[in-house]
Structure formats: structure tokens, C-alpha cells
Amino acid sequence: MNALPYKAYEQLEPITKAQPLVTVIIPFLNEAEVLSTCHKRVCDALSILHQHCEIIYIDDGSQDSSWALVSQFTHRLHQVRSLRLSRNFGKEAAMSAGMKVASGRCVILLDADLQDPPEYIPDMVKAWVAGAQVVEMQRKERHGEGWVKRTTAHCFYRFMSYISDYPITENVGDFRLMDQKVVRVINTLPERTRFMKGLLAWPGFTRTILTFDRDPRLAGITKWNYPKLIHLALEGITSFSTKPLRWATMAGLVTSFIAFVMAMVILTKTLVWGDAVAGYPSTILIILFLGGIQLLSIGVLGEYVGRLFIESKQRPLYILMEDATMKPTFQSMGA
């Protein structure tokens, strides 16, 4: 990556106090153990930029003392905003809430558990200053994650980029920087089922990929489990592609063709040689096979109808319960 001196940020005009250079969005759920360290490390990383920035914490329905903690966070130079959702709406909704209110010229999404090291923020901003409108952070190593999770994640990314109509970079999670322009486009996407990897990739724009080592969780436990991940995968597939419907149609066409050929063979054998039709096992096999294909196709169809049903209700993505904004302390002290 071409190295730009940090001074370059200061040459970005106009920079007003009203518009922060960077907004860092941090969604969290029950992360009381890590939030203080997270805040400190994010502030340290931002201080390298020597610019007024904004940090937005989104409490996605935490049951522990996380909210009491973040709503007290302040910084001398940066605005610290904490939003509290009325219940757990999921990380995707929490990130969307943050992006709606983010006022920075560029926006960074970050996990609270410090698996995405905030120390990369200056490099990401540097790439943005150099012209990239999206800076994707690609994981080199996934420390602290078992081979089962690594393999399933790899297969999922492969599958998604195969069925998607536009590229979704492999091993890039939510940790990324986006120009405010890109964020505004994403904010206009109205869907309720928010498969973020797909949504974030959808607008396009100029991209740069930086690689990083994903750290293990600092403390606490992951909020994901396999049923949740399978749900996410199905949501991703059905909200981003209609290819499975096409496959169901193709399976129907192929089986109909095979059935037609078999009917011709049996008819000819019976008419020409007078063979009695034998084969109870093959009949059962064919019935089961066709039954399976039919159920699968109905299931696929059902997934899409279910999505339509959820979308048609037009419910809000999240509900904001509290909003605590801490202006930079040097301002409130009249400095």
C-alpha cells in the first residue's frame, strides 16, 4: 500500500468540528468485560489521526452492565455516542442503526470483543485518503477458531460468491471502512432481512483489501452458535440470489426427462417383447426420489415466500430506547 504521511489527514479540507473525520461503529451484546479496554484501544488508535472523530456504541439489548458502562464513556477530542436498542435485534440491525446516525466522512465497523484490532484504523484511513471508497479487511489467520468453523466459513464464502451476482470478497467480515457516500447508499436499502456481507458489498465503489490477523476474543463468549450461523447462511442465500429456485426448476426438468425416457423404454419392452413390468424396488425408489425432490423444491420456494412475508410487514429494523451523546470534553469545558 502506498504510504501517505499521517499529516495528509490534516490537509483534508474542509474539516469542521461538526463533521468528524472518522466514525467508528461498535455494536455489542453483553460485553461488559471488554468494553473499557475496547474504548481505550479505539481512542488510542484514533489519537494517531489528530482529528476530531466519533465513536458510536450500539447496545443490542445487553442484560449485563454494558450500557451503564458505555453511556459514561467520554473523550477529550472525540464525540462518544451510545445508542441502546429496546431488545436484542441482532448485530446486523445494530450496525444498521449505527450507520443511520454516523456523521463521519468515513465509517468503520468494529467488533467490541477486539477480534478486529483497532490498531489497524490509521492504516484503513490512510487507504481511504489514498482514494479507496471501501477498505475491506481480509483475515489472514483466524486465531482462536477451530478447524470446523474455519472450514465451514470457507465453504460458505465460496458458495456465496458462486451464487451471488456481484463479488463478495472471501474472508472479509464486517470489519471494514466505508466512505460516507457508500454508507448513504447502504442506508437506502430497505430490506428487513439484512445479510450484511451481501449488503455491504452491493454498492460496489472502489475497493482496497488490507490483510490482518484476527485475534482471539479478549474475554467473554461468542454470541454465535451453529443454528444461528445456519439461519444466517440461509438468509444470505435466499436474500441475495434466486439461483436455488432455478436449480429446483432444473431438477424438475431433468427428472421429467428421465421419467419420459424410462416410460418409452418400458412401453417398448411391453409392446415388442410382452415383458411383464417387474420391479417393486425400483418403483419405490423412484417414488421416494421424486418425493424428495418435490419436498426440497417446496422448501426452497417456502424460504422465498417466508422472506416476502417478513418484508411485506414493513416493521422497523430496530427500536431505539436511549441515546446518550457525550460531546468532546474539551468543548464542554469551553476550551
Residues that bind ligand UDP (CB under 6 A): 27-29, 31, 60, 88, 90-91, 94, 111-113, 115, 222-224
- Please choose which of Mg ion, ligand UDP, none residue 224 contacts, taking the beta carbon within 5 to 8 angstroms, the exact cut-off set by kind: ligand UDP
Task: Using the minimum distance from each CB to ligand UDP, give the nearer residue, 91 or 194.
Answer: 91
Residues in the chain: 335
Q: What angle do CA 125, 127, 130 make, to 5 degrees?
A: 110
Cell numbers that stand for 84 in this block = 441502546
* Beta partners for residue 56, in sequence order: 25, 81
Omega of the bond prior to 14 within 30 degrees of 0, cis?
yes
C-alpha cell at 231: 439461519
Peptide bond into 118 cis (omega under 30): no
Which of Mg ion, ligand UDP, none does 112 bind, CB closer than 5 to 8 A by kind?
Answer: ligand UDP
Which one, 60 or 113, has the nearer CB to Mg ion? 113
Minimum distance, C-beta of residue 219 to ligand UDP, in the bound complex (Å): 11
CB of 173 to Mg ion, least distance (A): 9
Q: Are strands 54-59 and 22-28 parallel, antiparallel or unpaired?
A: parallel
Least separation in angstroms between CB 111 and ligand UDP: 4
Please give the residue ranges that form the binding site for Mg ion (CB under 5 A).
113, 115
Which one, 111 or 123, has the nearer CB to ligand UDP? 111
Q: Which three cell numbers stand for residue 101?
A: 446516525
Neighbouring C-alpha atoms within 13 Å toward the C-beta of 280: 0
CB of 226 to ligand UDP, least distance (A): 12
10 Å Cβ neighbour count for 2? 7
Cβ-based nearer residue to ligand UDP, 19 or 88: 88
Shortest reach from residue 222's CB to ligand UDP, in Å: 3
* Rounded distance between C-alpha atoms, residue 90 and residue 318, angstroms: 9
C-alpha cell at 68: 451503564
Judging by beta carbons within 10 Å of its beta carbon (0-12, 13-18, 19+), is residue 103 exposed, middle or buried? middle
60 binds, among ligand UDP, Mg ion, none (CB under 5 to 8 A by kind): ligand UDP
Dist. CA 87–CA 91, nearest whole Å: 12
CB of 139 to Mg ion, least distance (A): 12
Please state the closest distance from residue 127 (CB atom) to Mg ion, in A: 23
Partnered with residue 54 across adjacent β-strands are 23, 79
- Residue among 28 and 195 whose Cβ is closer to ligand UDP: 28
Interacting partner of 223 out of Mg ion, ligand UDP, none (Cβ under 5 to 8 A depending on kind) = ligand UDP
Tell me whether residue 33 or residue 54 sits nearer to ligand UDP (CB atom): 33
Residue number, 46 or 70, with CB nearest to ligand UDP? 70
